[in-house]
Amino acid sequence: MKAGLVYDPIYLEHDTGDHVENSRRLVDAMSCLNETGIKAKLTGVPARRASLEELQTVHAPEYTSYVKSKAEKGGGWLDPDTVISLKSYEAALYAAGGVLAAVDAVMTGEVDNAFALVRPPGHHAIQDRAMGFCIFNNVAVAAKFALNNFNLHRILIADFDVHHGNGTQDAFYADPEVLYFSTHQYPFYPGTGWMDETGTGQGEGTTVNFPMTAGWGDEEYLRVFDEVVVPVARRFQPQLILVSAGFDAHWADQLAMMKVTVTGFAQMAMILKELAAELCQGRLVFTLEGGYNLRVVASSIKATFDVLLGNPEIDDPLGKASIARKPEGFDERIEAIKRLHHID
């Protein structure tokens, strides 16, 4: 099994200072991969710049020009959460392009699957605006790239970041060729992603949101994947699976209130890998989104690569959280979503 790794030092040049989304997320992750010997087992996939033409399949030309100009003037704030520096525009081009390189490597058979360790993240960025630490929507640009270059007509984007990927949803809300699935804490930033957001026009039914209540953990997430993601994916028959992998639903993450473990993330990755093997010749690309506890991010990335490589044992150095009482309402929520999306 050949698992691809996309990484480039340019991602560290997106200088956010002491912002929670900072370069240490990748520094620590790469150190973990090196120290555990995982990196030596991976196939390096060189990142590249996304072209303006590729970016503008998702983003308005005026917006890409604005980001470039803002960075060239030394940076600043694109929105109340999203800061950029002198090198951030270049890093963002390579972040989007890094996911494109991963898609290309998987689609051409250079690797079986891949994980693009990129920053800045992307799934909140909308057509004409940065949001939530995100500048360009890396996974949306990658989906457009795959549709335009590999004669694909059905792509699944699975997003398990703790925050709803509003930008990705917006990009494909009316598009029947992309099935967007998201689990996310709700109500929470950015305030979107209720279950009745299911798409519009020809895209009706190809957006599947599973809003999660604070305090839910591995048991609930894995039931969602088994009882919702698997049947919806089988019905859709994707030709490629893209994954927005945010590790901020972990119990130790300081920005959220979920109870997922590193083992839980690995089990979700395994379900997606098995779906890819069953439905689309194993074509599977992960891209990094959120996750702000450095040890969690590093351990979860390492565990995901273990899954992609076919390693049978998952190392979870943080273990489980102590949970005094689980919030109720999960059974009612999953049944409501199954009815909404006609899942038997």
pLDDT single digits (tens) 8-24: 999 999 999 999 999 99
Q: What is the pLDDT of residue 293?
A: 98
Confidence label for 325 from pLDDT (cuts 50, 70 and 90): low
Helices and strands of the chain, counted as H and E runs: 11, 10
Quote helix, strand, coil % in the chain, to nearest 5: 40, 15, 45
Nearest to 50 by CA among 95, 82, 14: 95
Handedness of CA 32, 165, 47, 146 (dihedral sign): positive
Nearest to 343 by CA among 244, 205, 238: 205
Q: How far apart are CA 7 and CA 162, in angstroms?
A: 23
Judge whether residue 324 has pLDDT over 60: no
**Run of H or E including 224:** helix 218-224
Q: What is the pLDDT of residue 322?
A: 76
Average pLDDT (170-196) is 98
Instruction: Provide, rounded to the nearest whole percent, the portion of the chain with pLDDT above 90.
Output: 97
Q: What is the pLDDT of residue 48?
A: 98
SS3 223: helix
Q: How far apart are CA 344 and CA 3, in angstroms?
A: 34
Judge whether residue 327 has pLDDT over 90: no
User: At residue 39, what are phi and psi to the nearest 5 degrees?
Assistant: -60, -35
Could you give the domains of the chain? Answer: 3-340 (3.40.800.20)
Q: Bridge partners of 84? A: 76
Burial 126-157 (b: 16+ CB within 10 A, else e): beebbbbbbbbbbbbbbbbbbbeebebebbbb
Confidence label for 156 from pLDDT (cuts 50, 70 and 90): very high
Whether pTM exceeds 0.95 = yes
Average pLDDT (210-216) is 97
Average pLDDT (302-309) is 98
Among 60-74, 170-184, 258-272, 325-339, where is mean pLDDT lowest? 325-339
Confidence label for 326 from pLDDT (cuts 50, 70 and 90): confident
Q: Residue for token digits 């059905």?
A: 154
Q: Bridge partners of 192? A: none
Residue 185, Cβ neighbours under 10 Å: how many?
Answer: 23
- Active-site residues, by number, are 124
pLDDT single digits (tens) 30-72: 999 999 999 999 999 999 999 999 999 999 999 999 999 999 9
Judge whether residue 330 has pLDDT over 70: yes
Q: How far apart are CA 84 and CA 88, in angstroms?
A: 5
Judge whether residue 160 has pLDDT over 70: yes
Greatest CA separation for the chain: 55
Nearest to 308 by CA among 58, 31, 117: 117
Confidence label for 321 from pLDDT (cuts 50, 70 and 90): confident
Work out the mean pLDDT of the chain and round it to a whole number.
97
Question: Cα–Cα distances in Å, from 259 out to 209, 215, 227, 263, 301?
Answer: 19, 6, 19, 11, 17
Rounded to the nearest angstrom, the gap between the alpha carbon of residue 222 and the centroid of all alpha carbons in its chain is 17
